[in-house]
Structure 1
Amino acid sequence: MTKTLLSLGHGFSAQALASLLVKDGWHVIGTTRKPEKFDKLKAEGVEPLLWPCDLTEVLSEATHVLTSAGPDAEGDPILRLAGDDIAKAAPNLEWVGYLSTTGVYGDHDGGWVDEESDLDPATVRGKRRVKAEREWLDIPDLPVHVFRLAGIYGPGRGPFAKLRRGVAQRVIKKNQVFSRIHVDDIAQVVKASIDKPNPGRVYNVCDDDPQPPEVVIEYAAELLGMAPPPAVPFEEADMSPMARSFYSDSKRVRNDRIKNELGVKLLYPDYKSALHALRDAENS
């Protein structure tokens, strides 16, 4: 029997997962607000669905659901528009995934957190995520799995792209550390959960090597044969309010659960291996 994934808010991470599932014969339906993306989605083997829309019919077909849409000031946009339909479909779904963020843990001054750590987000965005996670987990009979993603990078997204556009900054802030994850590792973690469902479980999705942001920029510039951008104190850096807000959290995120429970072996366990692979793929 063909499995069908309904991907709500079909973005960067969901596209990487879809590429794995389509190869395995899955039917993937991806929602988008932009009709101009339809041709691209079809070329990737994904059936496009214009959002917002009535999900009643498509939920009757779906065996699995992935939601990537972030909450806004009014809450989770998917639950706001289709929560009742999702609740009704819950008993017929085999697996549901919610893509969240490690921002729910807040600031730990560079210390370690795991899935059992208290949720104490430092930003409005993080507080909204905590609320959305709970709303999804509280839907009766819905087999929800929560994935708290670290900083995402991959082809066309990350330090290489910023360096080439001339917008990369080597921002220096004392004790600032981030965890990261390559988009292909997100895809394999989520697929491993689909293969081994455990409703209600929460997983941190990150690599093994948290690092200060300036270290990663310096290494990426070295691989490209470029001079690294000049060091800029955090207080003087030219950043959008959104970019600046990321620096309110400093922590190292543990990923033992995806290894021990899902059997995941990271493709890119650290930023150096990931950046080498990205550069080699571009060169080829």
Structure 2
Amino acid sequence: MTAPVLMIAGCGDLGLRLAAQPLLADWRIHGLRRDTTALPASILPVPGDFTQPACPDGWPAGPIDYLLYSASPQRRDEDGYRLAYVEGLRNVLAWLALYGQHPRRLLFVSSVGVYGQHDGEWVDERSPTEPDGYTGQVMLEAERLALASGLPATLVRLAGLYHPSRPWLQGQVRAGMQAQQEPPQYSNRIHRDDAATLLATLLLAEQGGTALEDCYLGVDDAPAPLHEVVDWLRQRLGIDAPDGPAIQRRAGSKRCSNARARALGWTPRYPSYREGYADEQE
């Protein structure tokens, strides 16, 4: 039986974690990124830049069964986001067409930032997407491009990724971060390892003949008020509460449901911030 072929366009930290999943050990995995020198031997390197129209010289000529598009903008402005998510995806789709490749499924890594709810509402894959800022608006534009690509496409809207290698929130807490308590600012997150297992679950379900939905939310089981998370981390790190004013978080306060992903058989190893951050601090 021929091994499934996966192209990870934007093979960064999440792509590396996906490729390391034991259930994908027999897959043939290509990794597209600017610098491929750090890729493990299990990933076939494809040096290239999807923000440029020219197809990389190392693009595989054979069939590609699955495409994972996982971008990260080089510039954190509107043009940078559009270049990474919209133009980059458009370029990769053109390269597929150039080689006559028609993957069985495109997985597009998106964000729960496409939701603009701000009163602590529960949201799922069917909730309205009306983001206020350009980041969510550009992501929606890229999502529409993916769904109109002519390929069977699934959007994977991830919440904030965290992992010990990038302890951003802990650093903010050590620097004196506070979060307002009223009204509570609900936050959503997913451990990077759980995000990788979700992607693997989707790929294996597709390979096994399961009809995937066009969208899944990648979040843990327990959205929580940001002040609760900050206070818990401060206590765990042994940091006294600062006296300064609360730092205002960016707009948005919602609680995201992972029920659809769980119904597919995925279970997060870190169901809440407590398990995830406790594991990191040990």
TM-score normalised by L of structure 2: 0.82
Match of 2:76 in 1: none
Return the letter of the residue paired with 2:31. G
1-structure distance, mates of 2:272, 2:204: 25
Q: What do residues 38-78 of structure 1 show as CA deviations (whole Å, max 9, x unaligned)?
A: 342136x3233222252584263422111111572456132
Return the letter of the residue paired with 1:248. A
Match of 2:189 in 1: 180
1-structure distance, mates of 2:255, 2:19: 29
2-structure distance, mates of 1:176, 1:154: 22
Does residue 1:108 correspond to 2:118, yes or no? yes
Give ranges in structure 1 of 5+ residues lacking alignment: 236-243
User: Runs in 1 of length 4+ with deviation above 6 angstroms?
Assistant: none
SS at match of 1:72: helix
Does residue 1:129 correspond to 2:131, yes or no? no
Q: What do residues 142-167 of structure 1 show as CA deviations (whole Å, max 9, x unaligned)?
A: 12111000111112123565259x44
1:107–1:122 contact (8 Å) kept in structure 2: no
> Residues 40, 167 of structure 1: CA spacing in aligned structure 2 closer, same or farther, 3 A cutoff?
farther
SS at match of 2:118: coil
2:31–2:44 contact (8 Å) kept in structure 1: yes
Give the alignment of 1:66-215 within 5 angstroms: 66-70=68-72, 72-74=81-83, 76-87=86-97, 92-140=102-150, 142-159=151-168, 161-162=170-171, 166-167=174-175, 169-172=177-180, 174-197=183-206, 198=211, 201-215=214-228
Q: What do residues 147-191 of structure 1 show as CA deviations (whole Å, max 9, x unaligned)?
A: 000111112123565259x44622326331111111111111111
2-structure distance, mates of 1:14, 1:59: 21
2-structure distance, mates of 1:151, 1:160: 11
Give the alignment of 1:47-66 within 5 angstroms: 47-52=44-49, 54=55, 57-58=59-60, 60-66=62-68
Does residue 1:251 correspond to 2:251, yes or no? no
> Residues 223, 145 of structure 1: CA spacing in aligned structure 2 closer, same or farther, 3 A cutoff?
same
Give ranges in structure 2 of 5+ residues lacking alignment: 73-79
Q: What do residues 77-114 of structure 1 show as CA deviations (whole Å, max 9, x unaligned)?
A: 32342332234668641222100001111123111111
SS at match of 1:58: coil
2-structure distance, mates of 1:179, 1:191: 21
Match of 1:241 in 2: none
Return the letter of the residue paired with 1:252. R
Shift, 1:249, TM fit: 1.1
Give the alignment of 1:21-32 within 5 angstroms: 24-32=25-33
Greater Cα shift, 109-118 or 8-17:
8-17
TM-score normalised by L of structure 1: 0.82
Does residue 1:233 correspond to 2:233, yes or no? no
Greater Cα shift, 97-106 or 50-59:
50-59
Match of 1:265 in 2: 267
Match of 2:39 in 1: 41
Q: What is the count of residue pairs matched by the alignment? A: 263
SS at match of 1:17: helix
2:194–2:270 contact (8 Å) kept in structure 1: yes
Return the letter of the residue paired with 1:94. R
1:159–1:217 contact (8 Å) kept in structure 2: no
More helix by share: 1
2:63–2:101 contact (8 Å) kept in structure 1: no
2-structure distance, mates of 1:229, 1:15: 38
